[in-house]
Amino acid sequence: MAAANGSSELYSEMEVDAFRRLFPLRYHEQHLLKSVRTDARKLGSARDTTLALGAVASADGSALAKIGSTTMLAAIKMEVMTPTVECPDEGSIAIEFHMPPICSPLVRPGRPAEAASVISKQLSDTILSSGMIDLKELCLVGGKAAWMAYLDIYCLDADGSLFDAALLSAVAAFSHLNIPVVSLNEDGRIVLVSEDNVQLKLEKQPVNTEKRKLKLKSPPFSLTCLLHKNYILADPTAEEESIMETVVTVVLDSSYQLVSLYKPGGPVLAHTSVIQDCVALARRRMKELHSVLNEAISDMEVD
């Protein structure tokens, strides 16, 4: 490789960078032959993941998730709605994923990125079908008022594995969510009950007695893998995703059940053995992410 040249260090540095720009696929394949990736990771290992709960003070629940450089900020705001006639005792969740122009040079203001709507729909489907949240817990007054949880996820830095980071931040934001205490007004509107009023206002019974947390059953976690020839690369960076196009996303919940498997085309056709390997990698990753989430929750409770 160019780095092995005997010439001066600066010259070989420039050669390596130029080679990386001009022949990116060969540059990555040279690394894969030695079972390593360009950032010295093993093929099946993911980048360092950190999670911080309560990043946004003005929202009812929020979380900041970082996988390597990919950064996602999720925040939940609760508003009141009238439930539908078909399900009078269920609330609702609205999930939206935004890619603002700061996150990547490919996103232009005024034109939402294509990836944003794809990931938005994927997230929505995954979270609702995983059964993590029981919509009946979002009910306030049967048939009259229920919570609508607006979950907005903003990508602050797009460096590959956007879906994984977004799902992690969404799950973390739900586990941080504190539902405010409210009561029903004479006009039939829901109003907030502030802490000093709880003893005084006896005629307006609060609809929920204390700031509740949602019960999350088996939160889902995901792992995105890249398929290239015979290699499976877990947790790709943006550079790797732009060169090798076949992506497989596996979503597992904490009881090791498969929630979703997503392989949107791509030049590499996957055998079932490859898919099983991806699922095995996802199981390992699920344990890591679950412990990261539990650590973040216990850190919050200590405060």
Partner 1 sequence: MASKTGSTPATYSPSPATHKKKRIPIADVDWVRPDSRGFYQCRPAYLRTGAVSPAAGSAYAEFGNTKVIVSVFGPRESKKAMMYSDTGRLNCDVSYTTFATPNRGQGSDKKELSSMLHKALEGAIILESFPKTCVDVFALVLESGGSDLPVVISCASLALADAGILLYDLVASVSVSCVGKNLVIDPVSEEESYNDGSLMITCMPSRNQVTQLIVDGEWSTPKIHDAMELCLGACSKLGEVMRSCLKDVVTDLKE
Q: Which is nearer to partner 1, 86 or 301 (CB)?
A: 86
From the CB of 122, what's the least distance to partner 1, in Å? Answer: 14
From the CB of 247, what's the least distance to partner 1, in Å? Answer: 19
Q: Which is nearer to partner 1, 103 or 250 (CB)?
A: 103
Give strand ranges (E) for the chain: 49-53, 61-67, 70-81, 92-98, 139-141, 145-157, 182-184, 190-192, 220-228, 231-234, 246-253, 258-262
Q: Which is nearer to partner 1, 10 or 33 (CB)?
A: 10
From the CB of 178, what's the least distance to partner 1, in Å? Answer: 14
Rounded to whole angstroms, the Cα distance separating 153 from 99 reads 9
Structure tokens at 178: 């504190």
Q: Which is nearer to partner 1, 35 or 50 (CB)?
A: 50
Point out which residues bind partner 1 (CB under 8 A). Answer: 56-59, 62, 69, 73, 75, 77, 79-82, 84, 86-87, 92-96, 98, 100-105, 109-110, 124, 128, 148, 150, 152, 154, 156-159, 180, 182-183, 185, 189-194, 197, 201, 204, 238
3-class SS of residue 74: strand
From the CB of 49, what's the least distance to partner 1, in Å? Answer: 16
Furthest C-alpha separation in the chain = 86
From the CB of 229, what's the least distance to partner 1, in Å? Answer: 27
Residue-wise burial string across 224-251, b where 16 or more C-beta atoms lie within 10 A, e elsewhere: bbbbbeebbbbbbbbbbbeebebbbbbb
Q: Which is nearer to partner 1, 135 or 297 (CB)?
A: 135
Rounded to whole angstroms, the Cα distance separating 297 from 295 reads 5
